[in-house]
Structures are given as structure tokens and as C-alpha cells.
Amino acid sequence: MRINPLLLLGLLFLPLTGSTAGQALQQLHAFLNKTRTLTADFKQVSFDENGNPVQTSFGVFMLQRPGKFRWDYEKPFVQQIISNSDKVWFYDADLEQVTIRKLDESIGSTPALLLSGQVSLEENFIIEQQGQDGDLFWIRLIPRDQQSSFKYILIGMDHGILGGMELNDNFGQLTRIYFSKVRINVDIDPAQFTFTPPEGTDIFEE
């Protein structure tokens, strides 16, 4: 099963009480305000409509605000998702093909666009505090746009740093993403956010 590029991201949460109330949203706002660039390793687990894990993927995520991000899937399939503010490239090495789409049409209100600084939280989402699970404070974002591909997005903050995400789409698919080795405001080569198709790659532009 290959990665669905639009799924870039069942937990039991403790109830919010006292001083924990509002911490997730405060941490998320502070994180978005201070973060210029970000690099992290990620583990992505995809579940079917019955809640059974069907694929686990590993790779590297890069972000440069505004509007630039890159997902490098390294296992079990080599894939890349690269954006440079107005377009996004979906590249599958095994299939030797790349699909190019406009950013707003292909990503919508997903976490990558949210984290890239292109989306206002309050304007685009209904925000619900979800409490604390382990070291993570969680917040649920429900898209206000009824045409969104997602029912909700969960974002977990770990002491002010991005720790995890969960995405639930309108087809009953659940995707969880766990981040590690997170580094913020480090220099990233601008060339990381441009894509040159390898020779022989089939190109489809929508």
C-alpha cells in the first residue's frame, strides 16, 4: 500500500483540568510564531476504517516559512512531497512519475499548510482542547470549510515543540505522525524546496 499524499499526518486523552487548560493552544501559537524553519524525523502509521494499522512509513520532514515544506518518505517506499509556496510535487520513485498541483487545490487545510504559516487557526478551524496524553498536550482542529478532505486534525505539542499529528479523513482513514529529532530555526538549503524530475520520469500537471 503506497502513501496517500493527502494524508500528511482513537487516542485516549485525559480531561482538561485546572492549569492544563489552554496549554496546547498556547504552545501551538507560540511554536508557530517563533518557528522559521524546522527539520524532523517522522514515523507515519496509516489505519483502515476498522482501526487496523495497514502501513508504517519513515522519513524526514522539512519546513521553511512561509509556504515551503518537504516530506521525504524513505521506507517502505521512496516518495517525496515538495512545496515551494504555489505548487506541490508528488513524486513516486518506484512508479517513476510526478504529479504537479496547485498548492491550495492539493493540500487544502492539512497540517503541512497549517505549519507553513499560510493558514490562520481561528479563521479556518474550530478549535477544541483535548488535554494531555503523556508528555503531549493535544488540540483538535475541525475545518470550517465543509469541502475539506478531513474531519479533523489533531496536533500534539511537547514542551512547546511539535510532537505528533493525527488526521481523520472523510473516507474513514486515520493517519498518525510522530516526530522526533525536531530542530527549529536551523539553516536549510533553499534547493531542498525545488524539484527537478529525474530523467525518464512521467510528469502529470493538474
50-82, pLDDT tens digit by residue? 788 889 999 999 999 888 889 999 999 999 999
**pLDDT of 83-127, one tens digit each?**
886 788 999 999 999 999 887 644 444 566 677 666 677 888 888
* Three-state SS at 17: coil
pLDDT at position 12 is 29
Phi first, then psi: what are they for 173, rounded to 5°?
Answer: -90, 135
Which residue intervals of 108-174 are DSSP H helices? 111-115, 121-124
Highest mean pLDDT among 2-11, 153-162, 181-190, 195-204: 181-190
Phi first, then psi: what are they for 90, rounded to 5°?
Answer: -110, 110
pLDDT at position 85 is 67
Residue 39 has pLDDT above 90, yes or no: yes
CATH no., domain 22-205: 2.50.20.10
Nine cell digits for residue 21 = 487548560
Matching residue, cell 505549519: 115
Which is nearest to 167 in space by CA: 25, 11, 22?
Answer: 11
Q: Are the C-beta atoms of residues 18 and 151 closer than 8 Å to each other?
A: no
pLDDT at position 160 is 86
* Three-state SS at 116: coil
